């Protein structure tokens, strides 16, 4: 006899439920409306099949876990879990977590950087139908007319115009827990400087994920790339004219329909010379 979820079951039933676990896990990683990086969950990754010019889609943990031999020397899952989140260091000092969700493209192949070996040898693609970013607006003080110190944050969904799915450059790494032997494939996506649209949306940092054209995605996976070319593709900035975007409800992360457009009357349109702001869906339907 075995126990599943604390209930005594037969061995056959136990195996059946374990099989269901596998089916469901493989299904779920492809079927998520919103993936929050800070959950460090699995996401769908495209990687080359070893020795072939062919691809496979596999689940990987989003949040790169570096080789245990390099800084920050994470050898066990416990160290990974602690190190990823804000925590107290051995001296009792409060330190930020090292989440390794995003690899800054400008430094990706720099010698001594944690992502270098993966960028040169293990490149992959994140599959996305859109990403989420917050635009910061500083309201004016009614009395002084000066901007307030605390920004109001408006969420946007950003996509690749005319495409249901697109690819973001990524790098991956296999890692094993020294205590349990658990082996995990983890990945980080690369980021580049924001274009006219994405920079205005992510106006606190002016960054965007490296969204690739089909040709660049193929080259990223299968090209025999020099360091310089890795750097160039990782830094590729999709032209702003190819970006689609709209605003979302502030509670979209807990919504049944997180992709649903939400119009904010007080929000000024993006300041893009020569470009018309996309009208919200509700307004379009009126005309």
The residues binding another protein (CB under 8 A) are 1, 4-10, 13, 16-17, 20-21, 23-25, 27-28, 253-256
- Whether the link from the prior residue into 72 is cis, omega within 30° of 0, is yes
The whole-angstrom separation of Cα 259 and Cα 28 is: 18
Smallest separation (angstroms) from another protein to the CB of 16: 8
Cβ closer to another protein: 39 or 54?
39
Smallest separation (angstroms) from another protein to the CB of 85: 18
Local structure of residue 51 (DSSP, 8 states)? T
The whole-angstrom separation of Cα 150 and Cα 216 is: 39
Cβ closer to another protein: 17 or 148?
17
34 touches 132 (CB < 8 A): yes
Smallest separation (angstroms) from another protein to the CB of 35: 12
The conformational region for residue 35 under phi > 0 = left, psi -120 to 50 = alpha, else beta, is: beta
Smallest separation (angstroms) from another protein to the CB of 61: 16
Cβ closer to another protein: 6 or 69?
6
Which single residue is written with the structure tokens 């943990």? Answer: 61
The helix, strand and coil proportions of the chain, stated in percent and rounded to the nearest 5, come to: 25, 30, 45
- Strands 152-160 and 243-247 come out as antiparallel
Smallest separation (angstroms) from another protein to the CB of 41: 9
Please compute, for residue 172, the number of CA atoms within 13 A of its CA located in the half-sphere on the CB side. 25
Cβ closer to another protein: 25 or 140?
25
Which single residue is written with the structure tokens 């400008």? Answer: 106
Cβ closer to another protein: 5 or 144?
5
Smallest separation (angstroms) from another protein to the CB of 32: 9
Of the candidates 114, 84, 80, the one whose C-alpha atom is nearest the C-alpha of residue 96 is 84
Cβ closer to another protein: 253 or 275?
253
Q: Which two tokens stand for residue 265?
A: 């009357």
Cβ closer to another protein: 27 or 94?
27
The whole-angstrom separation of Cα 250 and Cα 109 is: 37
Smallest separation (angstroms) from another protein to the CB of 3: 9
Smallest separation (angstroms) from another protein to the CB of 188: 23
DSSP assignments along 170-189, one per residue: EEEEEEE-TTT--EEEEEEE
Cβ closer to another protein: 11 or 143?
11
Q: Which two tokens stand for residue 76?
A: 């066990």
């Amino acid at each position: 006899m075995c126990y599943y979820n604390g209930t005594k079951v037969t061995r056959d039933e136990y195996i059946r439920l374990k099989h269901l676990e596998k089916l469901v896990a493989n299904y779920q990683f492809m079927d998520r409306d919103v993936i929050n990086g800070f959950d460090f969950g699995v996401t769908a990754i495209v990687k080359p099949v070893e020795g072939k010019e062919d691809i496979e889609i596999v689940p990987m943990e989003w949040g790169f876990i570096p080789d245990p031999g390099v800084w920050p020397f994470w050898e066990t899952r416990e160290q990974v879990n602690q190190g990823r989140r804000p925590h107290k260091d051995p001296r009792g000092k409060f330190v930020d977590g090292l989440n390794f969700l995003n690899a800054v493209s400008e430094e990706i192949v720099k010698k001594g950087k944690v992502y270098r070996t993966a960028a040169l040898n293990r490149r992959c693609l994140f599959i996305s139908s859109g990403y989420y970013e917050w635009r910061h607006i500083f309201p004016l003080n009614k009395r002084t007319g000066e901007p307030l110190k605390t920004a109001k944050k408006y969420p946007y969904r950003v996509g690749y115009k005319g495409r249901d799915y697109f690819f973001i450059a990524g790098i991956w790494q296999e890692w094993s827990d020294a205590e349990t032997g658990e082996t995990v494939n983890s990945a980080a996506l690369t980021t580049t400087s924001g274009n006219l649209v994405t920079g205005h949306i992510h106006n606190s940092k002016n960054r965007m994920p490296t969204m690739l054209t089909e040709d660049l995605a193929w080259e990223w996976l299968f090209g025999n790339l020099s360091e310089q070319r890795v750097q160039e593709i990782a830094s590729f900035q999709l032209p702003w004219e190819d970006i689609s975007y709209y605003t979302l409800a502030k509670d979209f992360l807990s919504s049944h329909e997180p992709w649903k457009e939400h119009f904010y009357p007080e929000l000024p349109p993006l300041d893009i010379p020569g470009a018309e702001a996309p009208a919200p869906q509700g307004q379009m339907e009126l005309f």
